Amino acid sequence: MKWGKVVVTGGAGFIGSHIVDYIASHFLADEIVVIDNFSSGSLKNVEHHLDKKYFKLVKADLKQYDPSWVDTLKDVDVVFHLAANPEVRVSSIEPRIHFNENIVATFNVLEASRKHDVKMHFFASSSTVYGDAEKIPTPEDHPLKPISVYGASKAACELLYYTYTKLYGFSVAVGRYANIIGYRSNHGVIVDFINKLRRNPQLLEILGDGTQRKSYLHISDAIEATFAIIRYTEKEKGFQVFNIGNEDWVTVKEIADIVVEEMGLRNVEYRFVMVTPDGRGWPGDVKLMLLDITKIKSLTGWRPKLTSKDAVRKTVRELLGKENI
């Protein structure tokens, strides 16, 4: 696998910047173009590439179909489409943001790709497309019944991709990520807990009843999985959907315990904030999430190296600056 030119949308974000690092460190492409509007991404995540010949940064908003970024797709071999608003919680309060940031932006990326005949894509989807799954662990062929606008927007994007594979001969590797965590994480429960405990080391407010149980995957495992499914899709072509998650799960209360322990705190009072009657963190929050990863394991040979708990602990240590990746 050696490409000429690749584009990473959202490449200044958490997962996108790790994808850029992986491509650069494995010499997978001659040229890497990052398109990002820095709404949640940071220049710091890519600053080590800025003076490199292979690297180009385009500051642009994908919601606007504009030649400033559209024409950077000329002669591109692969588009890694990571740009989105990843905040599930926000989507229940401001649904329009997710419609625009996720669906409109994705449609524009597809149209720009059609214009420049870029056939190979990776799309960052999410476990939230399944909603409250009837089957756990949840396999890829489970019905898509999202309970958040975020999940619905990801499902809609998947359908757009599917149609572009049928109509225009695109190939797309769809990665339905579980909770991805690690160095450069900028949102989610771990970041939230660390920030709250820095502000008040005696009291931790926990959204929901703390029994929410989900699968967490460390970024190092997630990146390996992402490239495993791209390699597979380059070979097999068409629309290929894979769950990318861990084989076990961890509760929100267990995450709180790990964060408190790693921050060296004692006697922290947990205050559970009941936002919904059944103890979810927020309306639209899935309470139980564990993806069936049989497919990716059997077709690509990938498997996670760290358990959910180990991934949580490693992430806390990385975010506290106690450990590097």
304 binds ligand NAD (CB under 6 A): no
146 binds ligand NAD (CB under 6 A): no
Helix then strand then coil, % of the chain, to nearest 5 = 40, 20, 40
Give the number of residues in contact with ligand NAD, rule: CB under 6 A: 29
Binders in 66-95 for ligand NAD, by CB under 6 A: 82-86
Which member of 8, 19, 124, 289 binds ligand NAD (CB under 6 A)?
A: 124
Q: Which stretch binds ligand NAD (CB under 6 A): 162-170, 175-183, 227-235, 274-282?
A: 175-183
Cβ closest to ligand NAD, residue 16 vs residue 268: 16
> Residue 277 Cβ, how far from ligand NAD at the closest point, in Å?
26
In 82-215, where do the E strands start and end?
120-126, 171-177, 179-181, 203-207, 213-214
> Residue 7 Cβ, how far from ligand NAD at the closest point, in Å?
11
- Classify the phi-psi angles of 69: left when phi > 0, otherwise alpha if psi is within -120 to 50, otherwise beta: alpha
Q: Give the burial class of 53: count Cβ atoms within 10 A of its Cβ; 0-12 exposed, 13-18 middle, 19 or more buried.
A: exposed
113 binds ligand NAD (CB under 6 A): no
Binders in 10-49 for ligand NAD, by CB under 6 A: 10, 12-16, 35-41
Q: Are 190 and 259 in contact (CB under 8 A)?
A: yes
Beta bridge mates, 125:
176
Cβ closest to ligand NAD, residue 69 vs residue 268: 69
The bridge status of strand 171-177 relative to strand 239-244 is parallel
DSSP type of residue 169: -
281 binds ligand NAD (CB under 6 A): no
> Residue 188 Cβ, how far from ligand NAD at the closest point, in Å?
6
Cβ closest to ligand NAD, residue 268 vs residue 319: 319
Angle between the 308-319 and 252-262 helix axes, to the nearest 10 degrees?
40
177 binds ligand NAD (CB under 6 A): yes
**CA angle at 240 for the pair 236 and 243, rounded to the nearest 5°:** 130
168 binds ligand NAD (CB under 6 A): no
The three-class DSSP label of residue 35 is: strand
Binding site for ligand NAD (CB under 6 A): 10, 12-16, 35-41, 61-63, 82-86, 101, 105, 124, 126, 177, 179-180, 186
